[in-house]
Amino acid sequence: MFDVIAFDGDDTLWHNETLYAAAQAEFRGLLEKHHPAETVDRRLYQTEMRNLEFYGYGIKSFTLSMIETATELADGRLTAEEVRAILAIGRSMLTAEVQLLEHAEPTVAQLAGVYPLMLITKGDLRDQKRKLAKSGLAPHFRHIEIVTSKTRGDFEEILGKYQIDPAHFLMVGDSLRSDVVPVLELGGQVVHIPYKLAWAHEVVPNAHSTGPGYHHLEHLGLLPALVQEIENG
């Protein structure tokens, strides 16, 4: 039934949001003398949303948004040392070890023996390539698509590129906004595996569905059995 099974990367195959959470906690600490934590978090999120159309997703975008937020909140009192500290936070994120989620490697390896697999992940090209290479999972994927966003139009373009019928396409991911909603709109099937942390931007109220094409799992280890169940109708 499935011509291709596609996976998201961040927080579906390897940990990502925990890296951002730790970085944001460190950022709060740098600015605690200027503003309370709640203010820092709120203003950083607002800056990230404002900058998405200019910088896109990823660690470099996040670092620029931290610097911009800090400059605004410090009201002209941000020191060169504090700027260097923020840059160091971003650099440490870019060099962090890639930690696979439990069940990621055996699940991907098992499914790759039966189906063509595709990685569809968004963010900075260089960083996503680094994470994929460090993950050890690259040999299992026949196709790799690193995109700046994951909208209905983006998925439509990818499926058209590989001549994939949406009805025979399965997307596995953690994000309602980026992995679930656009694929369902195209008539594909999705497996939603929520991560323990979720960036507010990826949360879509009332997007959960029990209708055709939507499947929910607690962890990746359950995926092969679910795929077989779907195939058996």
The CATH code of the domain that includes 195 is 3.40.50.1000
Of the listed ranges 19-33, 148-162, 209-223, the least confidently predicted one is 209-223
- Is the pLDDT at 208 greater than 60? The verdict is no
**What pLDDT is attached to residue 150?**
93
Three-state DSSP state, 126: helix
- Same domain, yes or no: 8 and 34: no
Residue 154 or residue 232, greater confidence? 154
**What pLDDT is attached to residue 65?**
97
Residue 23 structural domain: 17-94
Residue 203 or residue 178, greater confidence? 178
Annotate 47-70 with b (16+ C-beta within 10 A) or e (fewer).
bbeebeeebbbbbbbbbbbbbbbb
**Nearest of 5, 19, 2, 12 to residue 193 by alpha carbon:** 12
- Is the pLDDT at 190 greater than 70? The verdict is yes
- Same domain, yes or no: 77 and 106: no
- Same domain, yes or no: 183 and 227: yes
- Same domain, yes or no: 104 and 168: yes
- Same domain, yes or no: 227 and 117: yes
CB 89 within 8 A of CB 67: no
Return the CA Rg of the chain.
19
Residue 233 — very low, low, confident or very high, per pLDDT cuts 50/70/90?
confident
Structure tokens that stand for 32 in this block: 């605690």
CATH code assigned at 43: 1.10.150.240
Residue 195 — very low, low, confident or very high, per pLDDT cuts 50/70/90?
confident
- Same domain, yes or no: 221 and 113: yes
- Same domain, yes or no: 123 and 179: yes
Residue-wise pLDDT tens digits, 81-122: 999 999 999 999 999 999 999 999 999 999 999 999 999 999
- Same domain, yes or no: 124 and 158: yes
Mean pLDDT across the chain: 93
Residue 220 — very low, low, confident or very high, per pLDDT cuts 50/70/90?
very high
**What pLDDT is attached to residue 182?**
94
| Domain end residue (candidates: 55, 78, 94) | 94
- Same domain, yes or no: 210 and 167: yes
Residue 1 — very low, low, confident or very high, per pLDDT cuts 50/70/90?
confident
- Same domain, yes or no: 35 and 83: yes
Residue-wise pLDDT tens digits, 46-94: 999 999 999 989 999 999 999 999 999 988 888 999 999 999 999 999 9
The pTM of the full predicted model, rounded to 2 decimals, is 0.91
For β-strands 143-147 and 169-173, DSSP reports them as: unpaired
- Same domain, yes or no: 69 and 151: no
- Same domain, yes or no: 217 and 192: yes
Percentage of the chain beyond pLDDT 90 is 82
**Nearest of 10, 150, 162 to residue 93 by alpha carbon:** 10
- Is the pLDDT at 177 greater than 60? The verdict is yes
| Domain end residue (candidates: 60, 94, 128) | 94
Count of the separate structural domains present in the chain: 2
| Domain end residue (candidates: 73, 94, 115) | 94
